[in-house]
Chain A
Amino acid sequence: MTLTYVLMQNLRRNPLRMGLTVIAFALPMAVFVAAISFVVALARVGAHNEAQLRLGVHHKQTLTNPLPEALRRRIEGLDPDRARLAAVCGMRWFGGRVPETQNTLTSLAADVDTFHIVYSDTDMTPEEVVAWQRDRTACVVGRNPATTYGWKLGDRVTLESTVPPYLALEFHIVKVMDNAERANFFYFRRDYLDESRKAAGFDDPRCNIFWVKCRSAAALRSLQQDIDALFAHTPDETKSEDENAFAANFTQAAGDLPGLMQAMAVVVVVVVALVAGNTMMMSIRERTRELAVFKAIGFQSSRVFTIVLGESVLLAMIGSVIGVLPTAALLYAFPVRGLSFGPISGLEVSWVAVVGSMVISLAVGLLAGIWPAMRAMRLHTTDALRRVA
């Protein structure tokens, strides 16, 4: 027998109370691990974007005002040695809808020569790049729409644009992108778009945004200043943002789910701390005499403190395990893939989230246990042992 054993047995004193507490602790922790998984996924996307060093240049007033494609050359002209930027890719919004559905894909027409450089995270092999450059109708598809509509490499697919002039174009899939960050995207060639538009009577090659692949974070910042300065006070006044800042505008507006998740995580921690604290206080109150006997036997006050604190931590960990593991298992078995809106493309549980949840529970156990432990420690032994009158 060890003190840990005594601790565990103490928790079994009142099984009903333990059961209720564990449930009241586990439910919020289930919410917590889901929310934290979300936040972790978000952080991952953020880190990825930061590493990609892409700078988005769009019209200052609004993204929907397209910029002349000639701006690309002027941006490139800022750095002829390519010391700060590696390449510039102009993109135009297509807003293609899958026929017979209401679903509009995040579909963009990109410059054929620089797309795979600026979007190096599409991981296109040299063969795939050749295919992209050889076929006018080439397109690169994210794994979410591919899964949803059953598209495979080599398929021909059609999208109907939801922006004027509402062209319906056919594409040939030369790559399906595997990674999570590009999961919801659909890219094709801007020269194909411009030709089609011209054929429909709209000869006006423009870009909604230019993505600049920078060589370093410092280069990104300096280019950001220089580009906006270059076009200030012109009809094509620009606003340059790094990818995370750009995305943040949408995140805020698309329901601010990250904000919701973060708020929920905080609420959970508060609630479980209260739940655990409540149970521990109730438990201590009932055991004043027993704890006094521990001291009478010769257990130091600090030891009694540790025992009570240990019970609180154990309680928290049990509740946490019961809440976190099933939720993690559920998310592992059924990850939410195919989120077509919002900042992340899917929700999977990550080990970081699970471990993080356990650590937080540990902290909550400690926090909730401190006051009961101090009360137990400060117990006046002789008062507590006073005979039942």
Chain B
Amino acid sequence: MSSADIDVRNVHKIYHKDRIEIPVLMGLGLKIDAGQFVVLMGPSGSGKSTLLHLIGGLDAPTSGSVRVGEAQLETMSERQLTAWRSRHVGFIFQMYHLVPVLTAAQNIELPLLLFPMSSAERRQRVNTALDIVGLGDRSDHRPNQLSGGQEQRVAIARAIVTDPDVILADEPTGDLDATTSGEILDLLSLLNSDFGKTILMVTHDPRAASYGRRTVHLEKGVLQREEINANPRGAAAALAS
């Protein structure tokens, strides 16, 4: 059980497309404590995904600093970022992005191939992850045999199987219906409350936003405002009530 805090300072990100400069983030700052569940909202094109990618080390800022846990990302090479990411970050995408030719269990096992461990150990971790997401009986199904919600569970399992400090979710419920969305969000909430994972989730959906303790709004390249949610929805709240 590990988690990390996130400290983003004065980050600028400018894209260059066909000689035109497109500034996306303009001096953005954000601090997230370890174990917090933060929701990131904003209009289309405001740079939400970009910020997520920067925090996950998938991209480098044009200027500014990004610290996640003990790693100062803007000073790291791509090789170092990739290695760091495999240990410390779990990604969840809107489109699940599972490998269609592998079973659910094999998809989940994929990140573990990056670490020296026996196949028995890998299998154990996969089973744990499957239990947490509640998919024990579907482990040998291929993605095309799973529903959208089930696929996203597999994706979540894959994201947590390496026991990362930080979970970054980009519109995880964007493609799901209301009921299934609820289940997925419950699951994320569980990961936060029971396992203490730091979670940063991008979403459009205000209902999804209500699962986070804190919601930050991104507009015109900087954070405009912020709300604290005293009673976030989710498993813990359900238990409490």
Contact = CB atoms under 8 A, between A and B. Distances in A.
Question: Are chains A and B touching directly in their complex (CB below 8 angstroms)?
Answer: yes
Interface of A: 1-3, 5-6, 9-10, 12-13, 289-290, 292-301, 381-382, 385-388
B86 A387 contact: no
Nearest to B161: A297
A55 B75 CA distance: 75
Contacts of A10: 101
A300 B83 contact: yes
B101 A298 contact: no
A6 B82 contact: no
Nearest to B48: A387
Contact of B83 (A1, A3, A292, A298): A298
Contact of A296 (B50, B58, B109): B58
A9 B119 CA distance: 19
B102 A6 contact: yes
A9 B158 contact: no
Given A12-B101, A388-B95, A295 B170 contact: no
Given A1-B113, A388-B95, A382 B85 contact: no
A295 B93 CA distance: 14
Contacts of B171: 387
A292 B91 CA distance: 12
Contacts of A386: 49
B106 interface: yes
Contact of A300 (B79, B95, B109, B113): B79
Contacts of A13: 100-101
Given A1-B113, A387-B49, A297 B91 contact: yes
Contacts of B94: 387-388
Given A382-B53, A386-B49, A387-B49, A299 B97 contact: no
Contact of B85 (A2, A9, A296, A301): A296
Contacts of A300: 79, 82-83
Contact of B106 (A1, A301, A385): A1
A6 B97 CA distance: 15
Q: Which 5 A-B pairs have the closest CB atoms?
A: A298-B86, A9-B101, A293-B97, A297-B111, A298-B85
Nearest to A386: B49
Nearest to B84: A298
Given A6-B102, A292-B97, A382-B49, 14 more contacts: A1-B109, A6-B101, A9-B99, A9-B101, A9-B102, A10-B101, A13-B101, A289-B97, A290-B100, A297-B85, A297-B158, A300-B79, A387-B171, A387-B174
B110 interface: yes
A296 B114 contact: no
A289 B95 contact: yes
A299 B82 contact: yes
B59 interface: yes
B101 A296 contact: no
A386 B97 CA distance: 12
Given A1-B106, A386-B49, A387-B94, A299 B114 contact: yes
A293 B93 CA distance: 9
B33 interface: no
Contacts of B234: none
Given A1-B109, A9-B101, A290-B99, A295 B82 contact: yes
B110 to A, nearest CB: 6
Residue from A289, A301, A381 with most neighbouring chain B CB atoms (10 Å): A381
Interface in B84-138: 85-87, 89, 91, 93-95, 97, 99-102, 106, 109-111, 113-114, 119, 122
A190 B50 CA distance: 94
B226 interface: no
A139 to B, nearest CB: 68
30 contacts: A1-B113, A2-B113, A3-B113, A6-B99, A6-B101, A6-B102, A6-B106, A6-B110, A9-B101, A12-B101, A13-B100, A13-B101, A292-B97, A293-B97, A293-B99, A296-B85, A297-B158, A298-B83, A298-B85, A298-B87, A298-B111, A298-B114, A299-B82, A382-B50, A385-B97, A387-B49, A387-B95, A387-B170, A387-B174, A388-B95
B56 interface: yes
B227 interface: no
A117 to B, nearest CB: 68
A329 to B, nearest CB: 31
A290 B106 contact: no
A153 B57 CA distance: 84
B102 A298 contact: no
B212 to A, nearest CB: 20
Contacts of B174: 387
B82 A298 contact: yes
Nearest to B126: A1
A297 B83 CA distance: 9
Interface in B159-208: 162, 170-171, 174
Contact of B110 (A12, A297, A387): A297
B22 to A, nearest CB: 13
A385 B93 contact: yes
Contacts of B53: 381-382, 385
A1 B59 CA distance: 30
Nearest to B89: A298
Given A296-B56, A387-B171, A301 B86 contact: no
Residue from A5, A289, A298 with most neighbouring chain B CB atoms (10 Å): A298
A62 B162 CA distance: 82
Interface in B37-53: 49-50, 53
Residue from B56, B59, B113 with most neighbouring chain A CB atoms (10 Å): B113
